[in-house]
């Protein structure tokens, strides 16, 4: 009976320890935090949530945005061997940094893959031909689909 209890406790503790988030250190300089944001967002983190209209824009601080970007990068790339260090500006924690309306993931979002529309927008934002969300079939061969209305327009 005692061995069963110990086994159950070990399983519970390993399950609780499995949820880890990568957050930026509060004592890091603003410049170092910004470098972490730039690296993470440029290397596969989902940074749409910390844009002005995103769910995690507030609190609008460099430290909060850094934590979102670092965690997104870490969760998307930890299976590939990524660590949560970012030259000393971030560390792993077991306390959930999520706030109201902003939920930090504990696993890879879309398993590290982007959907076709996101890849399309990403490529154009880093080129001279970025056209917003307008139709671009004649420019690049990808048609942005618009939702149908009730009257077929």
pLDDT of residue 129: 52
- To which H or E segment does residue 132 belong? none
* DSSP state letter for 102: B
The tokens describing 27, both together, are 């004592």
To the question of pTM greater than 0.85 for the whole model, the response is no
In this predicted model, which residue has the larger pLDDT, 98 or 133?
A: 98
pLDDT surpasses 60 at 89: yes
pLDDT surpasses 70 at 18: no
Query: Environment class of residue 32 by beta-carbon count within 10 Å: exposed (0-12), middle (13-18) or buried (19+)?
Result: middle
Nearest to 29 by CA among 112, 83, 98, 86: 86
Per-residue pLDDT tens over the stretch 21-79: 999 999 999 999 999 999 999 998 999 999 999 999 999 999 999 999 999 999 999 99
Distance separating alpha carbons of residues 27 and 63, to the nearest angstrom: 10
pLDDT of residue 114: 47
Give the range among 47-51, 72-76, 90-94, 136-140 with minimum mean pLDDT: 136-140
pLDDT of residue 151: 62
Mean of pLDDT over the chain? 77
pLDDT surpasses 90 at 1: no
């Amino acid at each position: 009976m005692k061995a069963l209890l110990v086994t159950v406790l070990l399983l519970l503790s390993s399950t609780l320890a499995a949820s880890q988030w990568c957050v930026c250190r509060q004592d890091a300089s603003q410049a170092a935090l910004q470098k972490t944001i730039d690296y993470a967002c440029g290397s596969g983190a989902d940074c749409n949530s910390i844009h002005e209209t995103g769910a995690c824009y507030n609190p609008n601080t460099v430290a909060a945005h850094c934590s979102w970007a670092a965690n997104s990068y870490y969760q998307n790339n930890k299976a590939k061997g990524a660590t949560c260090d970012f030259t000393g500006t971030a560390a792993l924690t077991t306390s959930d940094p999520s706030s109201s309306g902003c939920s930090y993931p504990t696993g890879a979002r879309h398993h590290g893959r982007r959907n076709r529309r996101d890849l399309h927008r990403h490529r154009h934002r880093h080129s001279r031909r970025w056209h917003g969300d307008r139709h671009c079939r004649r420019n690049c061969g990808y048609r942005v689909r618009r939702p149908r209305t009730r009257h077929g327009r």
